[in-house]
Structure 1
Amino acid sequence: MLADPRAGAWLLAGALLLPAMACSDGPGGDDLTVFAASSLTDVLPELVEAYEAAAGTGVSLVFGGSNHLAAQLRDGAPADAFLTADARLVSTSADAVRFGTNRVVLAVPAGNPARISSTASLADERLRVAVCAIDVPCGAATHALGLPVAADTEEPSVRAVVSRLSLGEADVGVVYQTDVLAVDGIDRVPGVDLPPFVVEYWAESLTADGDRFVSYLRSDAAIKILHDHGFDA
């Protein structure tokens, strides 16, 4: 079962838990329930589809901010597996495995209407700058870059930053490279590479059924799907 974090106390995020994508009997029922970081929204349904076809078992997904999901689990919410971009939120036991990595990039609304051309834009108070809050993985990664940032908004998840950009509510922001590949309406700023900082994705099994799903994430079939969506695995 879910253990204490690797470092520090459990963190609470302001993100609201997004609804499950399908109804489920939950742990012990016919379907698996998987809690997953919101940055996996685009890739995980394809992974699940392949797993369901191979295992003959349904999977129900619940997406949200990693810290909020972890708090839900600690409060007793039923789940079979937990997928997060924050290694501190999983145990040090063999029940947790790393299954992919990601990187943050400088992103803008499609067409780059504000003509962003460098990381200096993140500190430009004339621009609307959107980043993740520091207590969620994308925000911790942004902070680790060591760049000056004059944020107009600090969001509870990377999907919230993506939404700001795609709706034209922000001029520039920091998101994952996989978001730029998956989401229409946002672009990566060409020719601008942020300092390298790898975000690791971890999966922890919480039940015996969860063990099988977590093991699948390290299979050749799953790794190919992750690569197709821009993750390194």
Structure 2
Amino acid sequence: MTGRPSRLFLAMALTVVLTGGCGSNDERLTVFAASSLADVLPDLADAHRQAGGPDVVEVLGGSNHLAAQLGDGAPADAFITADAALLVGLTIVGPPIPVADNHMVVAIPTGNPGGVTSPDDLRRGDLRLAVCATGVPCGDATAARFGYLPADTEEPSVRAVLSRLVLGEADLGVVYATDVAAEAKVVVPWTQEQACPCVAYAAVALSDRGVGFVEFLAGQTAQAILADHGFSTR
């Protein structure tokens, strides 16, 4: 079944953040990005600015929701998606560029209130399990990695699953490896191999002004930042 969205998720369902200095609105780049990039994108935007690029306005959300907004005409200069298939039908400038990979892991709140100890606990009926919904990149990757899971709540983004764990509203959940690395309030309950099926991020320019930022993401500086945040780089 699908649980009610947590208050934390509602606050981050669509997040707009201005990163950088005090450039004029005309100089800023609007970058739509998958919510799972929320922790690394500010560092990427800052490095891009230090390299001489313009400030970045970050618009974060589920990749499928962002793609739908872009398809409806929302203005943006670049899009970093967790599912390259969502680029079909969008007006893009140049080909998509592979950026990084991410892996799905089982995570629990610190303290392990549910007593989770093994993969068998993914199918324990007495535990509250949170996963991403089918049809969004994290949900499709979860199904590909673990098969069908009897979840108590199916969320529209991985940040919503993470919020369930942080708030104690789930005993275990499936999130990205980078989420566990960035969030002190969740841990993995057993050693988990980083293996595919995984999520492959792709970046594409949506305007001529976005080309430089997309090219920057494929460069050594950006790739090093992504690796520092736990992503598998190209």
TM-score (ref. length: structure 1)? 0.87
For 1:55-204, what aligned pairs fall within 5 Å after superposition?
Answer: 55-91=52-88, 94-193=94-193, 196-204=196-204
For 1:222-233, what aligned pairs fall within 5 Å after superposition?
Answer: 222-233=222-233
Change (3 A) 1:199 1:206: same
Structure (1 or 2) with the greater helix fraction:
2
C-alpha distance in structure 2 between counterparts of 1:140 and 1:130, whole Å: 14
Unaligned 5+ runs, structure 2? 1-9
Residues 186-220 of structure 1: per-residue CA shift (max 9 Å, x gap): 00122344763221001010011111000000110
Aligned to 2:15: 19
Checking the alignment, whether the CA contact within 8 Å between 1:122 and 1:148 is kept in structure 2 is no
Aligned to 1:9: none
Change (3 A) 1:196 1:117: farther
2:41 equivalent among 41, 44, 47: 44
Change (3 A) 1:23 1:48: closer
Higher alpha-carbon deviation: 113-122 or 64-73: 113-122
C-alpha distance in structure 2 between counterparts of 1:146 and 1:185, whole Å: 23
Unaligned 5+ runs, structure 1? 1-14
Checking the alignment, whether the CA contact within 8 Å between 1:47 and 1:225 is kept in structure 2 is yes
3-state SS of 1:222 partner = helix
Q: CA deviation at 1:145?
A: 1.9
TM-score (ref. length: structure 2)? 0.86
Checking the alignment, whether the CA contact within 8 Å between 1:17 and 1:68 is kept in structure 2 is no
C-alpha distance in structure 1 between counterparts of 2:56 and 2:173, whole Å: 33
3-state SS of 2:115 partner = coil
3-state SS of 1:61 partner = strand
Number of aligned positions between the proteins: 216
